[in-house]
Structure 1
Amino acid sequence: MDHPMPSAGRTITLPTIDHGEVTLPEPSWCAGHADHRPDTHRADILHKGPDIVLAFHGAEIIAAGLAQSPCATLPTRPEFGGRTVGVSVSPVDRTLNPVQLYSLAAALDGFADQLRDLADQLTAILAGGAR
């Protein structure tokens, strides 16, 4: 079942290689289509919101943002999203639904706990404790 976000009347017209000019409702969260190329197929049009990014020392660890392919056909690879709005996550290279996104957040929480355990272990080693 499709769950498009309300567009508040905004539309975007984009050139495509297979359907010419295509006019679509544009979700309020869409950051625009500055990178759209005219040789794009209609099924590959992507609404993308701004990413949230976890970076450390200038390196991007993970990024995520809303995404929707409003003209997608039946997906041959559902992990890349479709007509239903999802959250695109990289470098996981998947578009996740809410349940999957909560699972990722739980995995990241678990990883953070493991990092804290390593920090505790390293602190003990550096203090001359456990080797």
Structure 2
Amino acid sequence: MTEPRTIVLPTADHGDVTLTEPSWCRGHADHRPDTYRTDLTHYGAEHRLTFNGEELFRLILAQSPLSERASREVEAYVEESGYTGSLTPAGLYDLAAALDAAADNMRAFADHLSALLDGGERP
């Protein structure tokens, strides 16, 4: 049996904090030592949903295991880009098709998250 991975991160309020790091976590190379313990967050790889090369949404697995106010569970963090543009009718159809594809990708991401939460973690 493989031992869980751990990581030690310095914090402003609790010094070094040891966390169990999920296999999907992309690491903490951008960690800042002035972070508070409750704000420590694991992030997975970013999944960008685009239209004509422009980002529409970003989906990321996220978990803040020591949070005092937000959920400590693994969740999908979703960012909407604020895309704007003037489109012809054909462009609107293309955007609608991209949104359909984005919805399919979001459903697949939700399936992955469900499998992860059910203990069937995938690489």
Residue 55 (str. 1) matches residue 55 (str. 2): no
* Aligned counterpart, 1:115: 96
CA distance in structure 1 between the partners assigned to 2:80 and 2:51 by the alignment:
15
Letter in structure 2 aligned against 1:49: G
| Closer/same/farther in 2, CA of residues 8 and 66 from structure 1, 3 Å limit | farther
Residue 68 (str. 1) matches residue 63 (str. 2): yes
What is the count of residue pairs matched by the alignment? 86
1:56 deviation in Å?
2.5
Q: Which sections of structure 1, spanning at least 5 residues, go unmatched?
A: 1-6, 76-81, 93-111, 117-131
- Structural mapping, 1:1-131, within 5 Å: 8-75=3-70, 82-91=71-80, 115=96
Letter in structure 2 aligned against 1:65: I
1:8 deviation in Å?
4.7
Q: Deviations over 1:20-61 (max 9, x none)?
A: 000010000000011110000000001000011112233211
The structure that has the greater radius of gyration is: 1
SS of 1:70 mapped into structure 2: coil
- Matched-pair contact (CA < 8 Å) for 1:8–1:28: no
Equivalent pairs: percent with the same residue? 50
Runs of 4+ in 1 over 6 A off after TM superposition: none
Letter in structure 1 aligned against 2:26: A
TM-score by length of structure 1 reads 0.58
